[in-house]
Structure 1
Amino acid sequence: MQKLPCVLLVDDDPITNFLNQRLLDELALTDKLLVALNGKEAIALIEEHCPFSVGCPALILLDVNMPVMNGFDFLDAYQQLIGAQQKPSVIIMLTTSLHPRDVQRGETLNIAGFLNKPLTKEKIREILHTHFGQSAAAG
């Protein structure tokens, strides 16, 4: 599996972040894994670690409901970043509830899709296959 240059996890639940981080480490998906507890922290991490870097992070796994700045507010702020305008990241909303209102709103934004938690190896492989053209081989 080819490594992605950078992946960003955004979720207000530290346990979910820990489990997702372990899964991504186990799959050796990236050498640069950023973790934020809300959208505001995520924007700050992108500005700090990916200044002027087009397509960085390559993948963002984003929770919908978070304090300080939720997933939708993050998307609004993210669209204002220069790199995001030139080559947007693949953004997957990762949530516990696929509420039709949220899905409908997501369809109007520049996201790659919605996934129900928990994140699994199979879901990661499908993301890689669909959005990065990588083989979805088991392993």
Structure 2
Amino acid sequence: MSPLSCTLLVDDDETTNYLNQALLRRLAITDTILVATNGQQALDLLHIHCEQLASPTCPALILLDMKMPVMNGLQFLEAYQQRASGRPAVVIMLTTSLNPSDVTQMERLPIAGYLTKPLTKEKLQQVLQAHF
């Protein structure tokens, strides 16, 4: 499988972003990695990188944390859905919670799925096989 053109990591934890970037690079899953530390930064990046439909830096995959300052994952999803431009990305929620109420809430979201942290090679391969 050829690498994705671009992946967007959205997480307020710098260590998590660093580790996820290292994993994506090591596995050569994506050509470009964009990083945002909250939902608002992610929307700003999407506005810049997805202005043109065929842009190679418009993310095909968004790995989204649920709990962040400024704009959390739920608020991001709401704003992302209202966005009319660009091709839709596969959005995967990353969480540390397996609380049944959190799982139920995530299953109702407009996302392709959710994964528990930490991100691993096996989890990424499952996402790629299921959605690309």
- TM value normalised by structure 2: 0.91
Query: Using the alignment, how far apart are the partners of 2:30 and 2:115 within structure 1?
Result: 20
In the alignment, is residue 118 of structure 1 matched against residue 114 of structure 2? Answer: no
Q: Over aligned residue pairs, what C-alpha RMSD do you find?
A: 1.7
Q: Percent identity?
A: 59
Which aligned segments of 4 or more residues in structure 1 are displaced greater than 2 angstroms?
52-56, 98-109
Letter in structure 1 aligned against 2:24: L
SS at match of 1:51: coil
Residue 49 of structure 1 and its aligned partner are, at CA, apart by: 1.1
Residue 57 of structure 1 and its aligned partner are, at CA, apart by: 1.3
Query: Using the alignment, how far apart are the partners of 1:18 and 1:32 within structure 2?
Result: 14
Which sits farther off after the overlay, 88-97 or 46-55? 46-55
Unaligned runs of 5+ in 2: none
Unaligned runs of 5+ in 1: 133-139
Letter in structure 2 aligned against 1:40: Q
Matched residue count: 130
Residue 107 of structure 1 and its aligned partner are, at CA, apart by: 2.5
On the 8 A contact 1:95/1:115 being kept in 2, the answer is: yes
Residue 104 of structure 1 and its aligned partner are, at CA, apart by: 2.3
* 1:1-139 pair list within 5 angstroms: 1-53=1-53, 56-83=58-85, 87-132=87-132
Report the structure, 1 or 2, having the larger strand content: 2
On the 8 A contact 1:54/1:83 being kept in 2, the answer is: no
